[in-house]
């Protein structure tokens, strides 16, 4: 950790470079990146609106789920390349290599926060009010950040050795999309509930909805689940990353 | 006080008979039992010490392990056994300008490059003018790096690295930077660097430059140290080896 602090400048610089590259054509770049999830939400809304009529505020339900999902999906699929794609910073110079993954995760965090900020007025418009619990959102999102970071470490390190991981992961991410309650209500999968909750993303998405739509404070139980999931993710991710990084320069 | 202590390091490379880079190939290989590879020891039980203020040469033929050793010192590679202790801030010149972003301006790149070398923004701001003055690129500080010529690019990188004031410099024949005048400036700068008690590790097979700047050296042959000591006798050893 002290080492990461010493390199804080680099972490920030790489994050900015990442963001600049993503939104290269400034204003329009960001609008495009927002258009795609909103269009996706719109399509899902019109398809499933009648199917899931029991969900009272389906539009808000869908938006929060989709945005929370996007952070995980986009960040992990881009993190796969964060070591291999930065070859010269790995093979030619010493830096703590987890910085490359960390800065990618931070840049995605910033994009995701912007997306959430944009949907807040929409949430207000479709629900008529915003719950106070929304103030707790940053806290849980921070826990979520570490969960995503751990997964990213794991993927970035493994991809150095297994170059088909990007394709495998894309399939897995798509599978996870359908296994998480993004576009269907929780009541639709009542029977399979216990197995279903093994997916930590489900727990995160439920909490985000409670905070942003229903005004419910998460229970201690569900909070501890997401905390444990995040800690486990960072620990396992770091352990594997540290082991594998020793031969990064030879494998790239 | 030693700047660098290297003790019994060995480095092994695995060269697989069938290169497997995907999970699928690895699984197939497991079933077919083709996990064979050849071992290649790039370095074997190498030990040496570098005192603070020394200019230390590493010489040897192609494939003798010089670059591997330098990469180990730069902490880009990890040894399979043995230890390396380094006292002080290291700047490695394995490749100048690693991490430069062609889409950004020279100014932005200087900040990024110096943060790679472990500097923060304030520290960089202090040396900023010195960098552009040394590189003679003041006029071009707001130009995007993709429009730089390769000479300008290297000058900027060298100037940034040298101005961050490292304690130990690892140099891998990058002195062929820029034109004659700039090279002279680099040599002068390195001499000044040495006089201030800083350490330079210099890898080369250009014997003339080793002779002119190194105080001591080691000679590597097939991954082992075959001679060490003052630069001149080690160079003579090397010349005999070539015969």
pLDDT tens digits for range A26-54? 566 677 777 888 888 888 888 887 777 77
Angle at A250 (CA atoms; ends A248, A252), nearest 5 degrees: 65
pLDDT in tens, B165-176: 889 988 876 565
Q: Tell me the count of A-B CB pairs closer than 8 A.
A: 71
Predicted TM-score (pTM) of this structure: 0.90
A107 vs B contacts (CB less than 8 Å): none
Task: Give B99's contacts (C-beta < 8 A, 6+ positions apart).
Answer: A86, A88, A89, A93, B112, B113, B116
End-to-end Cα distance, chain A: 26
- Element of type H or E holding B162: helix B150-163
A83 vs B contacts (CB less than 8 Å): none
Q: Are B232 and B212 in contact (CB under 8 A)?
A: no
- The strand order across the sheet containing B224-230 reads B90-93, B168-172, B199-203, B55-60, B216-221, B224-230
pLDDT score for B131: 92
Distance, in angstroms, between B96 CA and closest chain A CA? 9
A9 vs B contacts (CB less than 8 Å): 115, 119-121
- CB of A34 less than 8 A from some CB of B: no
Distance CA B77, CA B104 (A): 29
How much is the CA Rg of chain A, to the nearest whole Å?
Answer: 19
Q: Are A49 and A125 in contact (CB under 8 A)?
A: no
Distance CA B210, CA A227 (A): 57
Q: Which of A9, A21, A92 sits opposite B115 (nearest CB)?
A: A9
Distance CA B57, CA B53 (A): 13
Average pLDDT for residues B217-239, to the nearest whole number? 92
Interface test mutation site (partner A, options B70, B115, B125, B164, max chain A beta carbons within 10 A):
B115
Distance CA B201, CA B101 (A): 28
pLDDT score for A145: 98
Cβ–Cβ of A88/B112 closer than 8 Å?
no
Cβ–Cβ of B94/A93 closer than 8 Å?
yes
pLDDT score for A213: 93
Which of A58-62, A240-244, B176-180, B205-209 bottoms out in mean pLDDT, i.e. has the lowest? B176-180
Distance CA B175, CA B207 (A): 13
A164 vs B contacts (CB less than 8 Å): 22-24
Q: Coil, strand, or helix at residue B89? A: coil
Distance, in angstroms, between A154 CA and closest chain B CA? 15
Closest CA to B111 of B155, B152, B141: B141
Distance, in angstroms, between A70 CA and closest chain B CA? 26
Task: Give B53's contacts (C-beta < 8 A, 6+ positions apart).
Answer: B3, B194, B197, B198, B199
Distance, in angstroms, between B107 CA and closest chain A CA? 13
Average pLDDT for residues A156-178, to the nearest whole number? 94
List of long-range contacts for A41-48, beta carbons under 8 Å, 24+ apart: A41/A66, A44/A183, A48/A183, A48/A184
Q: Which of B13, B22, B112 sits opposite A250 (nearest CB)?
A: B13
Cβ–Cβ of A250/B119 closer than 8 Å?
no
Q: Which of A17, A89, A162 sits opposite B22 (nearest CB)?
A: A162
Distance CA B112, CA B124 (A): 10
B116 vs A contacts (CB less than 8 Å): 10, 89, 93, 95
Distance CA B147, CA B153 (A): 9
Distance CA B95, CA B74 (A): 11
| Beta pairing partners, B90 | B168
pLDDT score for B69: 93
B13 vs A contacts (CB less than 8 Å): 250
pLDDT in tens, B44-69: 999 999 999 899 999 998 888 998 99
Which of B106-110, B198-202, B210-214 bottoms out in mean pLDDT, i.e. has the lowest? B210-214
Cβ–Cβ of A93/B120 closer than 8 Å?
no
Angle at B109 (CA atoms; ends B108, B111), nearest 5 degrees: 70
| In chain A, residues 143-182 whose CB comes closer than 8 Å to chain B | 161-165, 168
pLDDT score for A25: 55
Q: Is B139 exposed, middle or buried (0-12, 13-18, 19+ CB in 10 A)?
A: exposed
Cβ neighbours around B62 below 10 Å, total:
7
Residues in chain B whose Cβ is within 8 Å of chain A:
13, 21-24, 26, 71, 74-78, 90, 92, 94-95, 98-99, 101, 103-104, 111-112, 115-121
Q: Which residue carries 């201690």 as its tokens?
A: A220
pLDDT score for B175: 60
Distance CA B44, CA B51 (A): 22
Q: How confident is the model at residue A209 (pLDDT cuts 50, 70, 90)?
A: very high
In Å, how far are A85, A96, B166 from A142, measured between CA atoms? Answer: 26, 22, 36
B121 vs A contacts (CB less than 8 Å): 9
Q: Which of B77, B92, B103 sits opposite A249 (nearest CB)?
A: B77
């Amino acid at each position: 950790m002290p080492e990461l602090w010493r390199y804080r400048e680099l972490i920030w610089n790489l994050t900015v470079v990442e963001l600049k590259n993503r939104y290269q054509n400034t204003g329009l770049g960001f609008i495009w990146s927002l258009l795609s999830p909103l269009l996706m939400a719109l399509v899902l809304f019109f398809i499933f609106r009648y199917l899931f009529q029991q969900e009272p505020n389906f539009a808000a339900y869908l938006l929060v789920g989709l945005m929370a999902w996007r952070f995980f999906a986009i960040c992990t699929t881009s993190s796969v390349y964060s070591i291999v794609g930065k070859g010269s910073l790995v093979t030619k110079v010493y830096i703590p290599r987890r910085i490359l993954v960390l800065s990618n995760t931070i840049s995605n965090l910033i994009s995701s926060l912007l997306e959430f900020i944009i949907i807040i007025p929409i949430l207000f418009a479709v629900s008529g009010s915003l719950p106070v619990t929304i103030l707790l959102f940053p806290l849980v999102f921070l826990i979520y950040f570490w969960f995503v970071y751990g997964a990213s470490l794991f993927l970035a390190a493994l991809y150095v050795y297994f170059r088909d991981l990007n394709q495998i992961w894309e399939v897995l991410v798509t599978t996870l999309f359908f296994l998480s309650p993004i576009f269907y209500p929780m009541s639709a999968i009542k029977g399979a509930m216990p197995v279903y909750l093994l997916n930590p993303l489900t727990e995160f998405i439920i909490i985000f909805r409670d905070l942003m739509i229903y005004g419910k404070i998460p229970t201690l139980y569900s909070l501890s689940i997401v905390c444990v999931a995040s800690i486990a993710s960072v620990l396992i991710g770091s352990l594997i990353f540290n082991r594998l990084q020793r031969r990064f320069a030879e494998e790239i | 006080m030693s700047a660098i202590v290297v003790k019994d390091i060995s480095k092994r490379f695995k060269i697989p008979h069938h290169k497997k880079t995907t999970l699928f190939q690895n699984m197939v290989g497991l079933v077919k039992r083709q996990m064979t590879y050849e071992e290649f020891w790039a370095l074997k039980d190498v030990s040496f010490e570098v005192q603070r203020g020394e200019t230390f040469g590493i010489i040897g033929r192609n494939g003798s392990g010089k670059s591997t050793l330098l990469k180990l010192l730069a902490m880009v590679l990890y040894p399979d056994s043995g230890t390396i202790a380094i006292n002080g801030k290291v700047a490695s010149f394995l490749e100048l300008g690693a991490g430069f972003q062609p889409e950004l301006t020279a100014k932005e790149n200087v900040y990024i490059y110096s943060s790679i070398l472990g500097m923060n923004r304030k520290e960089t701001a202090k040396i900023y003018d010195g960098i552009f003055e040394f590189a003679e690129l003041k006029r071009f500080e707001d130009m995007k790096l993709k429009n730089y010529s390769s000479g300008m690019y290297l000058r900027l990188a060298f100037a940034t690295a040298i101005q961050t004031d490292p304690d130990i410099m690892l140099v891998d024949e990058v002195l062929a930077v820029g034109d004659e005048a700039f090279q002279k400036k680099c040599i002068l700068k390195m001499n000044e660097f040495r006089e201030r008690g800083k350490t330079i590790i210099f890898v080369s097979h250009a014997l003339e430059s080793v002779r002119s700047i190194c105080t001591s050296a080691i000679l590597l042959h097939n991954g082992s140290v075959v001679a060490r000591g003052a630069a001149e006798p080690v160079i003579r050893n090397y010349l005999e080896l070539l015969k």
